[in-house]
Amino acid sequence: MQMPEPDGRILSRKAEVVRRLAEVLSDDALIHAPEELRAYECDALTAYACPPLAVVLPVSTEEVAACLKVCHEERVPVVPRGSGTSLAGGALPTADCVILGVSRMTEVLETDYADRIIRVQTGRTNLSVTGAVEADGFFYAPDPSSQLACAIAGNIAMNSGGAHCLKYGVTTNNLLGATVVLMDGTVVELGGAHMDAGGLDLLGLVCGSEGQLGVVTEATLRILPKPEGARPCLIGFDASETAGQCVSDIIKVGILPVAIEFMDRPCIRATDDFSGAGYPDCAAMLIVEVEGSDAEIDEQLGVITQIARRLDPVEVRVSQSEEESARIWLGRKSAFGAMGQLNDYICLDGTIPVGELPHVLRRIGEMAKGYGLEVANVFHAGDGNMHPLILFNANEDGQLETAERLGEDILRLCVEVGGCLTGEHGVGVEKRDLMAAQFDVPDLEAQMRVKDVFDPGWLLNPAKVFPLETSAARRAVAAE
Amino acid sequence: MADLVPASELELAEAVRSARGSLAIRGGGTRAPQAEGDVLSIAGLTGITLYEPGALTMTARAGTSMSEIGEALAAEGQRLAFEPWDARAVLGRSGTPTLGGCVATNASGPRRVSAGACRDAILGLRFVDGSGEILKNGGRVMKNVTGLDLVRLMCGSRGTLGAITEVSLKLLPGVAATATLTAEGLSVEQAVRAMAAALGTPFEVTGAAHEPQAGATHLRLEGSEASVSYRAERLAAALGDHGAWSVAQGEGPWPRIRDAADLAGEADLWRISVRPSRAPEVVRALPGRYLLDWGGGLVWAEAPPGTDLRADLPGIGHATLLRAAPETHARLGSVQPEAEAVARLTGGIRDTFDPSGRFRARPVAA
């Protein structure tokens, strides 16, 4: 993976840029000492790192606007950062950029249960949005695995999903309004507490734009009343194909579970050892969760287990208690941590049409064998969002590169069968150079023209999302 | 000049490239104000090209009629999550609503409050922009964050950025039972409070509307028979302080509410999007008949011909003019004027996708 060469003219002006940023920020909001900048050299895609020119940590929309205005005038690239949990390198710096972090902007600005909205500063973490309303029986639905740490700003930038979006949708479906600061410092209000756009849906455009159109500083989010209850069941099969069939059969019969999660044998074994969840040792396992009153849950789980039993399962286990539900989920939720204890891994995020699941799983196994690597699969099966984990040893020369090549092959396969490169993590730098596999030149050109409108100088997160050679001309003009 | 009715996406792109003047994109002609310029019809682009019930996914060409889509879905016991409204009743039109027109206007019905809007159910689409370029965005899978989201941008863009040619939809399973709880005689303030309380319960209310002419406030529950009857009982009990609620099984008033069918007539008709709790303030400023949907978040309002209703409604989200003389559409603008900074972005995007202004036809007399 390449990043553009830093602009020497900016590096040589560091003192002047820092001086001007200091003028618009309080003392502790500006970081520019080399040893302190190391904390911001990467995000959760830790294979790549580069300390930035400086880091600013503003506390308000006004301060964000002032910082962006300075950077715009100085023609310094800006990389926005939420909590730095991106698995795609969305917040990876270049040496000539200013990192704009929103981590100190964590206030709840307004809560309104009658209108079912909460307005927050976007540095607030995902889980603490729910934390602010759950005592009153409400929650914020998108639940990425990193929800303890990840910020709403990053959720909006990447249009994050989670395990429960089969029923509740992803970030864009739960975002009603945003305060957005453009690169030149202009503050724009999009949407609000009402439910649709009057003119063009610019809010929908900004959500998922990976920090390339503007910095979202405040967000109005839809909150939902908590269901009366929720309970999972666990279903084990001796073949991935059968698990795929079971998912399709459940959906066809007219039940929409709140989550359908899938794990294969390597993942089941690793997570069970790690968490003591008590999973069956089988080729494929589903966790299917439904919501409602006890009777409603019983009714839905009855139908689901009936469907499963027709497919000759290894095990069907319906949770009988809160504790058992927590145990069933524990393994799934600790999957990435458990795999991380055993190996280095690359976590992919392609989505495929649900019907292609058996075929794609078989092909992934064959491809992995071809590269001499192992792949563990854990993913949101109801919506086809796969997370193949490619296991490798970072200390062995060349293994990272081999693992990355396998990752590219798997993502190309996802596109070939009618899917996409990324379902919820974003493109960042990780999938940037694969974009041409999914989009034709005019499609990418159309997206870049939209960025031109918001950020004509291509200063906001410029080296992400689009293949470097595709965006080269625009970035070159910006550097002149 | 006769309408342009291309038979394929390629022909449509060619028609746009070779057009000299402005073009008015037309689906079934059931929604848009009459506009100047040659009609560019998508009626030749029809057919469901992919339907996977087990994946809750359908792809269809933009000229496919909504009734054809509805029949295909019904055969598999599925439905569209967003319950698109049909504009024929209030606009007095007779055409056939198409998928393209529905998406271009982000046509969303009562289920908006729970299942989301049309824009939330669109997985991907293809369109031809004002330069005649064929573009695609999104895909046919449920979760997709690859690249900038032009799907949401196109949905609701009212034919001003391009002609949508194909759409992939996320579907919902159908339901076995529907029940409607109705309270009579509530004031608009009481009704909005009751609807907010209902939508704040865990009982999954999928419709919340207030019909002042009938003096009725309605709440909808959908699901299995056992579940609906359980929730109806619990919801009525939870709302005891908000009125006396009767329960009726079946489809109920929802098709009529969805289409605002009772507001058919000659007066101008507006569709106002507002923060739900502020609906009573809006209602007090209205000069004529109205209907509340989305728990108060959507106000359908009549006004005397030519009235600028927006001037009397500060603080609303926005108001769209639906039914009026072409002169009124031209003078007031069909959609709400935007704040300056937003208008600059919007203008830039229009210039990007339609540099020669081909799709910016002005309303004219029918």
Instruction: Specify if B353 maps to a domain.
Output: no
Same domain, B251 and B305: no
Whether residue B366 is predicted with pLDDT greater than 60 in this model: the reply is: no
Same domain, B13 and B104: yes
Q: Read off the pLDDT of each residue in B212-229 and give the average, rounded to a whole number.
A: 96
- A1 to chain B, minimum CA–CA distance in Å? 18
Whole-number Cα distances in Å, B190 to B153, B179, B210:
36, 21, 10
Instruction: Specify if B77 maps to a domain.
Output: yes
Same domain, B221 and B297: no
Instruction: Specify if B340 maps to a domain.
Output: no
Q: Which helix (H) or strand (E) holds A315?
A: strand A315-318
Q: Do B54 and A249 lie within an 8 Å CB cutoff?
A: yes
Instruction: Specify if B348 maps to a domain.
Output: no
**How many Å apart are CA A406 and CA A404, to the nearest integer?**
5
Among residues B157, B173, B189, the one where a domain terminates is B173
Percent of chain B with pLDDT over 70: 98
Q: Do A449 and B157 lie within an 8 Å CB cutoff?
A: no
- A295: chain B residues, CB-CB within 8 Å: 226-227, 230
Please report, in tens digits, the pLDDT of each residue of chain A (480 residues total): 899 999 999 999 999 999 999 999 988 999 999 999 999 999 999 989 999 999 999 999 999 999 999 999 999 999 999 999 999 999 999 999 999 999 999 999 999 999 999 999 999 999 999 999 999 999 999 999 899 999 999 999 999 998 888 899 999 999 999 999 999 999 999 999 999 999 999 999 999 999 999 999 999 999 999 999 999 999 999 998 899 899 989 988 889 899 999 999 999 998 988 888 899 999 999 999 999 999 999 999 999 999 999 999 999 999 999 999 999 998 888 888 888 888 899 999 999 998 898 899 999 999 999 999 999 998 888 899 999 999 999 999 999 999 999 999 999 999 999 999 999 999 999 999 999 999 999 999 999 999 999 999 999 999 999 999 999 999 988 777
Q: Tokens representing B150? A: 């032009």
Long-range interactions of B245-250: CB distance < 8 A, separation 24+: B245/B181, B245/B182, B245/B183, B245/B219, B246/B181, B246/B182, B246/B183, B247/B179, B247/B180, B247/B181, B247/B182, B248/B179, B248/B180, B248/B182, B249/B177, B249/B178, B249/B179, B250/B178, B250/B179, B250/B180
Nearest by CB to B142, from A209, A383, A453: name it: A383
- B103: chain A residues, CB-CB within 8 Å: none
Q: Do A418 and B139 lie within an 8 Å CB cutoff?
A: yes
Residue of B nearest to A228 (CA): B202
CB of A101 within 8 A of CB of A81? yes
Structure-token match 């996406």, residue found: B9
Q: Do A194 and B55 lie within an 8 Å CB cutoff?
A: no
- B339: chain A residues, CB-CB within 8 Å: 188-189
Instruction: Specify if B221 maps to a domain.
Output: yes
Q: Which residue has the higher pLDDT, B363 or B247?
A: B247
| Residue to substitute from B57, B105, B141, interface A, most A β-carbons within 10 A | B141
CB of A251 within 8 A of CB of B54? yes
Strand partners, A388: A377
Same domain, B151 and B166: yes
Among residues B258, B285, B303, the one where a domain terminates is B258
The residue type found at B113 is V
Same domain, B31 and B42: yes
Same domain, B196 and B305: no
Q: Do B106 and A421 lie within an 8 Å CB cutoff?
A: no
The residue type found at A23 is E
Whole-number Cα distances in Å, B34 to B39, B91, B364:
10, 11, 6
A206: number of Cβ within 10 Å: 28
Q: Tokens representing B161? A: 């950025």
Q: For position A341, what pLDDT does the model report?
A: 84
Q: For position B150, what pLDDT does the model report?
A: 98
Q: Tokens representing A4? A: 């553009």
Backbone angles phi, psi at A158, to 5 degrees: -100, 0
Instruction: Specify if B39 maps to a domain.
Output: yes
Sign of CA dihedral A411, A415, A418, A421: positive
Task: Assign residue B220 the CATH number of its domain.
Answer: 3.30.70.100
Backbone angles phi, psi at A382, to 5 degrees: -65, -30
Beta strands across the sheet bearing A388-392: A315-318, A230-237, A284-291, A259-264, A374-380, A388-392, A344-347
Strand partners, B162: B129
**How many Å apart are CA A94 and CA A99, to the nearest integer?**
9
Same domain, B159 and B64: yes
Instruction: Specify if B127 maps to a domain.
Output: yes
- Which of the four pLDDT bands, split at 50, 70 and 90, describes residue B1? low
Q: Tokens representing A460? A: 């906001």
Q: Do A293 and B156 lie within an 8 Å CB cutoff?
A: no
Q: Tokens representing B333? A: 């603008």
User: What are the DSSP E strand ranges found in A52-182?
Assistant: 54-56, 78-81, 98-101, 108-112, 117-121, 138-139, 175-181
Same domain, B185 and B312: no
**CB proximity list for B71: less than 8 A, separation 6 or greater:** none
Owning domain of residue B327? 261-332
Q: Do A446 and B200 lie within an 8 Å CB cutoff?
A: no
Q: Which residue has the higher pLDDT, A338 or B99?
A: B99
CB of B83 within 8 A of CB of B164? no
Nearest to A384 by CA among A267, A266, A248, A477: A248
- A188: chain B residues, CB-CB within 8 Å: 339, 341-342, 345
> Is the backbone of residue A124 left (phi > 0), alpha (psi -120 to 50) or beta?
beta
Walk me through the domains of chain A, giving residue ranges and CATH numbers. 1-226 (3.30.465.10), 230-336 (3.30.70.2190), 343-435 (3.30.70.2740)
Nearest by CB to B140, from A173, A353, A427: name it: A353
Backbone angles phi, psi at A421, to 5 degrees: -75, -35
Task: Assign residue B119 the CATH number of its domain.
Answer: 3.30.465.10
Q: Tokens representing A256? A: 């929409």
Task: Assign residue B266 the CATH number of its domain.
Answer: 3.30.70
Q: For position A335, what pLDDT does the model report?
A: 84
**CB proximity list for A15: less than 8 A, separation 6 or greater:** none
Q: For position A342, what pLDDT does the model report?
A: 82
Strand partners, A190: A178
**How many Å apart are CA A366 and CA A207, to the nearest integer?**
36
**CB proximity list for A397: less than 8 A, separation 6 or greater:** none
Instruction: Specify if B338 maps to a domain.
Output: no
**How many Å apart are CA B224 and CA A301, to the nearest integer?**
13
Residue of B nearest to A451 (CA): B148
**CB proximity list for A52: less than 8 A, separation 6 or greater:** A37, A40, A41, A79, A93, A94, A95, A97, A98, A99
Q: How many domains does chain B have?
A: 3
Residue of B nearest to A155 (CA): B145
pTM: 0.97
Same domain, B72 and B102: yes
**CB proximity list for A399: less than 8 A, separation 6 or greater:** A373, A392, A393
A470: number of Cβ within 10 Å: 19
CA B114 to chain centre: 15
Same domain, B129 and B19: yes
| Residue to substitute from B142, B150, B349, interface A, most A β-carbons within 10 A | B142
Among residues B258, B287, B318, the one where a domain terminates is B258
Same domain, B110 and B208: no
The three-class DSSP label of residue B120 is helix
Same domain, B231 and B247: yes
- Chains A and B: how many Cβ contacts under 8 Å? 274
Q: Tokens representing B81? A: 């999550």
